[in-house]
Amino acid sequence: MEPRDEISNDALFQLPLIALVILILSKDKRKPRVAEIGQFVGETLEACMPAFKGTSQKLGWSATLRIRTVTALGFLEKASLVTVDNRKGKVAITELGKKIVERAIGNEADDLSYNLARVSRSYRNLCVARQLDLVL
């Protein structure tokens, strides 16, 4: 196999962003199910980023995003930042993962911190909306 001279767009931007979103989702009290994590990542990004609102792309249903989410989840597992409970089918953050998220969110004057807080709030809103839909 030939060594690669350049890093792909996935490795530079998309996978780290998706990995951070997965860490934020798995830190919440409502742990995401493995089968739904790709959809939650897409819907959360769509809800908190104005560029995706009202587009015809529907990130929650994107097959490409789901494949990238699986890749990011595999990386997070290998790095011991999340664990996947096969019995319950849920993703949980580890202590090391919590430290990374707390450090990223800790600087309140930072754009990253602000956007990660928006991701967290959007995920909570999605979970509450789904729960309300089930009640109705």
pLDDT means over runs of 10, the chain (136 residues): 60 84 93 90 86 68 86 94 92 95 85 90 92 82
The pLDDT, as a whole number, for residue 131 is 87
66 exposure class (CB count in 10 Å sphere: 0-12, 13-18, 19+): middle
**Is 75 part of any domain?**
yes
**Is 2 part of any domain?**
no
Task: Provide the residue range defining the domain that includes 105.
Answer: 9-135
The pLDDT, as a whole number, for residue 100 is 92
The pLDDT, as a whole number, for residue 132 is 87
Helix (H) or strand (E) holding 85: strand 82-85
**Is 1 part of any domain?**
no
**Is 25 part of any domain?**
yes
- What distance in Å separates the CA atoms of residue 9 and residue 21, rounded to the nearest whole number? 17
**Is 4 part of any domain?**
no
Is residue 99 helix, strand or coil? helix
The pLDDT, as a whole number, for residue 62 is 79
**Is 23 part of any domain?**
yes
The pLDDT, as a whole number, for residue 64 is 84
Give the Å distances, CA to CA, from 46 to 59, 122, 126: 6, 9, 11
Nearby residues of 129 by Cβ (< 8 Å), 6 or more positions away: none
Number of structural domains the chain divides into: 1
**Is 40 part of any domain?**
yes
Kindly tell me the sign of the dihedral angle through the C-alpha atoms of 92, 35, 29, 50: positive
**Is 3 part of any domain?**
no
What is the domain-level CATH number for residue 46? 1.10.10
